[in-house]
Amino acid sequence: MTSSRRFHVLPGFGLSLGFTLAYLSLIVLIPLSAVFLKSATLTATQFIEVITAPRVVASFKLSFGASLAAAAINAVFGLMLAWCLVRYRFPGKRLIDALVDLPFALPTAVAGIALTALYAPNGWIGARLAEYGIKVAFTPTGILIALIFIGLPFIVRTVQPILDDLEPELEEAAASLGAHRWQTVRQVVLPLLAPALLTGFALAFARAVGEYGSVIFIAGNMPLVSEIAPLMIVTRLEQYDYAGATAIAAAMLVISFLLLLAINVLQGWSKKGKR
């Protein structure tokens, strides 16, 4: 006689799930729903007028465009940095490995001030670039650099554990079968790293979209040129236009969700392809 009672690996699953959903609701779902409820006080016409204003549209293009570009750049160079940290031994390796986490620990305002001091026309790096007519601070280029700075750890720390588990014998086996280095990277290494790389890309993008502190100082905040979307929200709040601020925030949430959903779909496809 067999018992019809089902046993779970994790005891108390129902209670744990209840606490998890309650915690998620309090921390994430209720605040997000408040944004949409507050923006719902606007009529449809007013909502469209707020999010399609020229300055708001320009800030959307800059924030999302720069965030995608920064995440893409970090995906390339973050992968290279993670590869060097895992595959090679060199002096100062532990120091560099620790410095990767610096953007996590450094207050964003401090990072913004430091980057502005470096890339301003009279800064250490900015003065050298100015000799060639290149201006970084107070331009969209400065915003891109700030977003690269704060997004790099997400790529490195997401890819690094996968590289640690990736046996070098796979690359040696591919080489023994006649594959040259690019074929080994493209057909052996990248397919195994693709899910983690896409995850790091999504995390870096999500962090960059909402970044404010490290960007506000180096951006210059020139209308229609270097104003980011979070600044538009803060500006509306300073004007006590709470409905307008939440309308911009709601639009950002929807766009971010759709982009992250697309990234997750690509990640799922890459996992299926690996299988």
The CATH code of the domain that includes 93 is 1.10.3720.10
Is a pLDDT exceeding 70 seen at residue 274? no
Other C-beta atoms closer than 10 Å to the C-beta of 217 total: 23
**pLDDT of 113:** 92
Within a domain: 32: no
Cα–Cα separations (whole angstroms), residue 134 to 41, 96, 121, 156: 46, 29, 9, 29
Do 81 and 185 meet the contact criterion of CB atoms below 8 Å apart? no
Distance CA 177, CA 167 (A): 17
Percent of the chain exceeding pLDDT 90 equals 44
Distance CA 265, CA 202 (A): 11
In 3D, which of 159, 126, 158, 139 has the Cα closest to residue 66?
139
**pLDDT of 248:** 93
Measured over the CA atoms of residue 237, residue 252, residue 155 and residue 112, the dihedral's sign is negative
Q: Kindly report, residue by residue over 150-190, the tens digit of the pLDDT.
A: 999 999 999 999 888 887 777 777 777 777 777 777 777 88
Q: Kindly report, residue by residue over 226-261, the tens digit of the pLDDT.
A: 899 999 999 999 999 999 999 999 999 999 888 888
**How many separate domains does the chain show?**
1
Q: What is the dihedral of CA 118, 122, 124, 130, to 10 degrees?
A: 100
Is a pLDDT exceeding 90 seen at residue 61? yes
Amino acid letter, 164: D
Distance CA 71, CA 182 (A): 23
Q: Kindly report, residue by residue over 70-109, the tens digit of the pLDDT.
A: 999 999 999 999 999 988 888 988 999 999 998 888 888 8
Within a domain: 13: no
Within a domain: 38: no
Within a domain: 20: no
What 8-state DSSP symbol labels residue 113? Answer: H
Within a domain: 42: no
pTM of the model: 0.85
Within a domain: 6: no
Which residue segment(s) compose the domain that 225 sits in? Answer: 50-274
Within a domain: 254: yes
Within a domain: 44: no
Is a pLDDT exceeding 50 seen at residue 16? yes
Distance CA 59, CA 47 (A): 16
Distance CA 55, CA 61 (A): 10
Other C-beta atoms closer than 10 Å to the C-beta of 50 total: 22
In 3D, which of 68, 112, 134 has the Cα closest to residue 220?
112
Is a pLDDT exceeding 80 seen at residue 7? no
In 3D, which of 91, 219, 72 has the Cα closest to residue 151?
72
